[in-house]
Structure 1
Amino acid sequence: MKNYNLLIEHQCPQCGAPATLTETDRLFSCEFCRVRSYLMPGDHFRYCLPSRAPAGKSVFYVPYWRFKGMLFSCVSEGVRQRFVDISHQAVDNALFPHSLGFRSQTLKLQFASADSEAQFLPPEQSLAAVMRIFQTRFRLRLPQPVYHQAHVGENISMIYAPYYAESSLYDAVLNETTGRQPPAGFSETVAGCPRLDWQLRFLPTLCPKCGWDLEGQTDSLVLLCRNCASAWQPGRQRLHRTRFGHVATGNQEEVIFLPFWRIRADVDQVVLDSYFDLAKTANLPKVPREEWRDIPFRFWSPGFKIRPQTFLPLATKMTLTHPPDLVADQLPDGELYPVTLPLVSAVESLKVILANFIKPRKTHFPRLPDITIAAAGFRLIYVPFVRRHHDLTQPQFRFTILKNQLKLAKSL
């Protein structure tokens, strides 16, 4: 699989040492001063393509929205899935290309900075408007009608491309003319643009409860404290405590615990209050039992990146199985795979999971646009998988994941 991760040149906020990050990196550990910090972008990350403009040129930056993630589409024959990595101009100006092409994947980027003396054109198209353009583009390639589409595991960022204007417009990445002439007064318009109002924040990785060092890998979205057995999700300004648990294992073999989001949700127009309701809705090959009415229904969604062809079957299998034997608020002994898919992505996947198991499809798919699913509660659950030579196996739920899929998912 091709590496879709951006490479970003960075400096340690403590000692200024250079480093190269990937776009999925959140936990930064400086190799020189050993200080660890968590990257906090606020809403989304902002990057700049490198400029090769000669000294003295008035460089300005043009914004592009970039979306990377899984796209699920519900059509009459079932749920189709694909991975997408696309960009689109955020200023709606014919002077500039509509997309960045492969530039963001082949060049090392830098974090945009409010300290830069360059001008940054403000985005004129909202993310929602650009997402509608993306959806329309992909809908045209699908059999009609398309009842529902969902973007899951999305990585949204804004990438700025450098230009400067003389008698013609120059691409500052290549330092070559684009062959296009800017309109009269264009330089004055650019000069009047406001300075970039964004700054990357760095959060100390200390447990807010006990002050111990938090643990996590570079791409972890949930940090763990082994001292007070707590889990923390970064918010916009600070860390928020996350409820968690794990599925007990009696297996003596070597295991690794994979994270899943277990979500309690209110589903409109479909009765899904209990496991009894699930058995009827999914037409499970089981005779529903009365005691199942006392088992609350929960959605399960992977808390880690995996290719879409595996993500949906795994989420559906876990939801239909309803794993029991949870040990609440206790970290399991053994290796814990990092949480790399946020809760918001799990919530976005709920209607797709429902569409994948609801029966009969012919009756329910036309109703998908009107069905609403609202998350009412969640818990992060670690599920044990047995390590084999080439794969990870969950014998209780009869599901296998190839190790290579997890390795390749690092670049999704």
Structure 2
Amino acid sequence: MEETDRLFACQYCRVNSYLMPDDFFRYVLPHSAKENQDLVYFPYWRFKGMLFFCGPSGITNRFVDVSHQAIVTPYFPISVGVRSQAMKLRFLSADMEGRFLKPRLPFEEVAANFEKRFGKALPKPILHQAHVGESLSLIYSPFYLKDNLYDAILDKPVSAKTSETFSLNDFDAGNPQWHIRFVSTLCPNCGWDLEGQRDALVLTCKNCNSSWYPVGKKLKQLKFAQIPGNGDNTIYLPFWRIRADISGISLKSYADLIRIANLPKTVQNGWDNVPFRFWIPAFKIRPKLFLRLASHLTVSQPRQELIPELPGKQIHPSTLPVKEAIESLAITLADFMKPRKTLMEKFHNIDIDAKSFTLVFIPFNEGHHEFIQPDYQIAINKNALALSKNL
């Protein structure tokens, strides 16, 4: 299984299960040490996701995949480096042998250090920063102690000589008391098999026309709709349509949007009665393209009739949780708000409170190199979408 997989298919009974952790996933890096070595697993916090910073010169974005010690100590490496990306991770299980050191450093403190490091070189003041598509996990890296402290992945010493004051007894340790919950993917409504790709967060039932997503320890029914497409080679991409209360500026209608975004349009009669909605990708993609899609579609404000039926054609998996989409609302507003001077003056007074959401499937026509949405003049490179599975 890949670390992004959320669906597990049993090879014996051919039943699918949805993987749900109690808090966050825990992984173990593979070792190459001899069998008679007593392994010690050192914990590292791993943060993977998109970072956005809004400042006087615009919005800066980057994708990050970084790790940091979950115990402050000079004896173990500060991070796992590129190993979390280059090596195959295994899910931690309670029956794994070895001594697992317990984390001492809370992730919030590590995250603050990440933000400070990445925002250090940016122009000040930073009006807003957001983590979107944030994936938090704990990675255990194997070591063993002989005449020296050894990296069990390389089977080589961590340093030339370990300090005489070093002792594993200084660290709290124990067996991993953690497990993954396997939730049945039978439709809670009709008992039919739910469908979804391996990394999908949203599962669908074509028998009773329903969709489901994880909330707490179970699957909850999700409100959804589609904008019908008429192309022969069509793929439906999921977007979160989010209604929010916005204070600090007047942004309740399509007419308000035209004024806020300084669009080259004349406000027509009735547009004050057309409610404003955010449209945010429900799938992970590179941050620059993510923000462009969110801003462009939100400014476009799709107004076609929404049909509460699942598309009959291919659906791209929903891999971005709605709570992460909500984290992007302020940065999306900052991207289309014009002029820049108005943004600098008013943004610190703006507060966005998400009230409701719907998952909307939008049709894209498949071209040679791109997926194209002609109504909103959007094109997404196929490779960019395919590579997003690694984000």
- TM-score class, shorter-chain normalisation, is over 0.9
| Inter-partner Cα distance in structure 2 for 1:117 and 1:29 | 26
Q: What are the residue-to-residue correspondences of 1:17-28 with 2, within 5 Å?
A: 21-28=1-8
Pairwise CA distance, 1:32: 5.2
Structure 1 segment 185-196 matched on structure 2, within 5 A: 186-190=167-171, 192-196=172-176
* Matches for 1:328-347 after TM superposition, within 5 Å: 328-347=307-326
1:77 & 1:316 partners in 2: Cα distance? 17
Q: What does residue 214 of structure 1 align with?
A: 194
Q: CA deviation at 1:222?
A: 0.2
Q: Is the 8 A contact 1:230 1:329 kept in 2?
A: no
Specify the SS of the correspondent of 1:297.
Answer: coil
Instruction: Tell me by how many angstroms 1:112 deviates.
Output: 1.1
1:145 pairs, out of 125, 146, 159, with: 125
Q: Aligned residue for 2:23?
A: 43
C-alpha deviations, 1:345-381, integer Å up to 9, x for none? 2111111100001122223235434432221100000
Per-residue deviation at 1:227? Answer: 0.4
Once residues 351 and 163 of structure 2 are traced to their aligned partners in structure 1, the CA distance between those partners, rounded to angstroms, is 47
Alignment-mate amino acid for residue 162 of structure 2: Q
Identify which of 135, 143, 152 aligns with 2:115: 135
| Contact map agreement 1:276 1:290 (CA 8 A) in 2 | no
3-state DSSP of counterpart to 2:207: coil
Deviation of 1:56 after TM superposition, in Å, equals 4.1
The CA distance in 2 between the partners of 1:162 and 1:182, in whole Å, is 19
Q: Does 1:103 align with 2:83?
A: yes
- Equivalent residues in 2 for 1:7-406, closer than 5 Å: 21-31=1-11, 33-179=13-159, 180-181=161-162, 184=165, 186-190=167-171, 192-249=172-229, 251-365=230-344, 367-406=346-385
Match status 1:409 vs 2:352? no
AA in 2 matched with 1:333: G
Aligned-pair distance for 1:123? 1.6
TM-score (normalizing by structure 2):
0.94
Deviation of 1:299 after TM superposition, in Å, equals 0.5
Q: Which amino acid aligns with 2:125?
A: P
Query: Which consecutive residues of structure 1, in runs of 5 or more, have no partner in the other structure?
Result: 1-20
Residue 183 of structure 1 deviates from its aligned partner by: 5.9
Unaligned runs of 5+ in 2: none
Aligned-partner SS, 1:120: strand
Report if the CA contact (8 A) 2:228-2:307 is conserved.
Answer: no
Partners of 1:92 and 1:267 in 2: CA distance: 41
TM-score, length of structure 1 as denominator length: 0.89
| Structure 2: distance between partners of 1:51 and 1:256 | 41
The CA distance in 1 between the partners of 2:163 and 2:27, in whole Å, is 25
Is contact 1:73–1:79 with CA below 8 Å preserved after alignment? Answer: yes
Shift of 1:182: 5.3
* Counterpart Cα distance in 2 of 1:317 and 1:29: 38
Measure the CA separation in 2 of the matches of 1:350 and 1:74.
12
| 8 Å CA contact retained: 2:46, 2:136 | yes
2: CA distance, partners of 1:382 / 1:338: 10
Other structure's SS at 2:270 match: helix
TM-align CA RMSD: 1.9
- Percent identity, please: 48
Query: Are residues 204 and 400 of structure 1, via their aligned partners in 2, closer, same or farther at CA, if it must alter by over 3 Å?
Result: same
- Cα–Cα, structure 1 residues 57 and 208, in superposed 2: closer, same or farther, change >3 Å? same
Q: Structure 2: how far apart are the matches of 1:411 and 1:44?
A: 18
